[in-house]
Amino acid sequence: RPATTTPPPLVVKVPSPLTIRLPQQITKLEAHVEPSDRRVTYQWTYMNDGPTTPLLDNVDTSELSVSNLRPGNYSFQLRVVDTIGNEQIKTIQLAVTG
């Protein structure tokens, strides 16, 4: 009977804080998950704290595209869950300058 091994914990790395300068049209927020061979699901959410509501694309991938930004500070949350229920939640602070 093989011994059961506990899989290593899920590690999610995101760039935060991040600063961009307008007129950059699209900003990409990218997450790296370790171990890299683990199947995971992604869910990006805007925290509704900036001066305008940005447009989000690819909210269920490792790389979120953000557009329609104005100068100010924004927060985004990333929730990553693997197939055995391990969960990591990260917040990314984005500062936009004009």
Write the DSSP symbol of residue 86: -
Q: Place domain 11-97 in its CATH homologous superfamily.
A: Immunoglobulins (2.60.40.10)
Q: Residue range 18-33: average pLDDT? A: 93
Interval 35-77: pLDDT, tens: 888 899 999 999 999 999 999 999 999 999 999 999 999 999 9
- Going from the C-alpha of 68 to that of each of 18, 40, 82, 90, the distances in angstroms are 17, 28, 31, 22
Model's pTM, two decimal places? 0.88
Closest-CA residue to 46 (of 13, 83, 73): 73
Closest-CA residue to 46 (of 96, 92, 98): 92
